[in-house]
Homo-oligomer: A and B are copies of this chain.
C-alpha cells in the first residue's frame, strides 16, 4: 500500500533507492530494459514527492550529458507509465512515482496546494467508488483518474 500521508521527515534517499530496486526487479521480471535514460528519469521523478513536469526533466537530463529533446523524455515517461512505475497527474500535466507498481490499481491522488506533495489515495475507496458506479450506471470502466487538491494534514497544523 502507498502511504496516504507523508511522514514529516523520512529517509528520502531510501525512498529513491527502494523505487529504483523495485523498478529494476520489475523490468527483469517483465524482460524489458531499464536503460540509463529511463532509470535517470525515474530517479529524477523520485527526487521529490511533488509531481514533476516533463519539461522540468529536460535540463536535468542535459546536465547529466543525456540527450535532452522532448521525445527522449516522453519516451522514457511512456515506458515508465506503461509499467506502472509512475503515474500521470493530468490536472497538473505532471508525473509522479508509484510505490507499488507490481499490483494493478486504479489511481487517485491528493495534492497539497501548500507544500505541493502528492500522495496516493487509499485503493479501497477508489476501487469501492468505481465498482459502485460501474454497477449503478451499467457501464464498463476501463480507466479512471481522481485528483484532489487542498491542504494536507501537516500544512494545516503548521498554519
Taking a contact as CB atoms under 8 Å apart, the answer to whether B151 and A139 are in contact is: yes
Q: Once the chains bind, are A149 and B142 in contact (CB under 8 Å)?
A: yes
Question: What's the Cα separation between A143 and B148 when bound, in Å?
Answer: 6
User: Shortest CB–CB separation between residue A96 and chain B, in angstroms?
Assistant: 16
Pairwise interchain contact A148-B130, C-beta atoms closer than 8 A: yes
Give per-residue flags for A124-159: 1 if the beta carbon is below 8 A from chain B beta carbons, else 0. 011001101110111111111111111111001000
A150/B156 contact (C-beta < 8 A), A129-B125, A133-B110 known:
no
Question: What is the count of identical protomers in the complex?
Answer: 2
* Chain A residues within CB distance 8 Å of chain B: 4-5, 90-91, 110, 112-113, 119, 121-122, 125-126, 129-130, 132-134, 136-153, 156
A selection of 8 A-B contacts at a CB cut-off of 8 Å is: A90-B90, A110-B139, A133-B148, A139-B148, A139-B150, A140-B156, A141-B148, A143-B148
In angstroms, Cα B144 to Cα A122, docked, is 15
Shortest CB distance A157–B (Å)? 9
